[in-house]
Amino acid sequence: MQPFSEHSGRAAALRRANVDTDQIIPKQFLKRIERTGFGPSLFHDWRYRSDGTPNPDFELNRPEAAGATILIAGANFGCGSSREHAPWALADYGFRAIIAPSYADIFFGNCCQNGLLPVVLAPLQVEELFDRAAAAAGWYRLTVDLVHRRVRDGQGFDAGFEMDDYRREMLLQGLDEIGRTLLDESRIAAFERGRALAAEQVSA
């Protein structure tokens, strides 16, 4: 998993609340278990017309969203089912961070497990970001700094955010739960050897 310390990039605005995981990655694309290859299907039902051509009215299809790596979204982002494919699709599309007032709990955790940073800012701060992105007409860039837990745009916006130390450290190191557990591999092995020895002594 790619570590996350600080990222600067173009921001795309999705000014919608309650975006659920079925909209992020519809169920017909969940047949694969690899973490890659889902980017083209991200927001499929909004992104494409019924004939398969891009919908020019969808936010991410507009020229100002091209190449965006930071997504600004509305409240309760990632609600609905717990599918881990949702952060896989967002990451495969190219997003490194999401900024929203709130997230569904399972989606938030799945993002952290996959190197995608979910930033929580106050609703008024997110509204300000939406307004700044609209005013910039496609040239709006943000920096998300996990080391210092700040979001800034270099034009006066500078806001702090909370991230619990455990998840923050895992993101900084690029570790998921398995990777974090393997850091203690020597201690785990020593514990297992101790149990095996104790079992042998009991049976002797």
169 and 181 both lie in a single domain: no
143 and 203 both lie in a single domain: no
65 and 121 both lie in a single domain: yes
Q: Which residue has the higher pLDDT, 103 or 137?
A: 103
Please count the structural domains in the chain.
2
List, for residues 71-85, the tens digit of each pLDDT value: 999 999 999 988 899
Q: Is residue 49 part of a domain?
A: yes
Q: What is the pLDDT of residue 137?
A: 81
Q: Is residue 1 part of a domain?
A: no
183 and 101 both lie in a single domain: no
**Per-chain mean pLDDT for the chain:** 89
Q: Is residue 108 part of a domain?
A: yes
114 and 159 both lie in a single domain: yes
User: pLDDT tier at 93 (50, 70, 90 boundaries)?
Assistant: very high
Q: What is the pLDDT of residue 163?
A: 95
108 and 167 both lie in a single domain: yes
Q: For residues 157 and 68, what is the distance between their CA atoms, to the nearest angstrom?
A: 19
Residue 200 has pLDDT above 90, yes or no: no
187 and 169 both lie in a single domain: no
133 and 100 both lie in a single domain: yes
108 and 186 both lie in a single domain: no
Question: What's the domain range around 72?
Answer: 6-173
CATH of the domain at 163: 3.20.19.10
Residue 129 has pLDDT above 90, yes or no: yes
Strands 117-120 and 141-145: unpaired
**Which residues on adjacent β-strands are paired with residue 20?**
79
Q: What is the pLDDT of residue 77?
A: 98
Q: What is the pLDDT of residue 151?
A: 98
Q: For residues 39 and 71, what is the distance between their CA atoms, to the nearest angstrom?
A: 14
| C-beta separation of 70 from 129 below 8 A | no
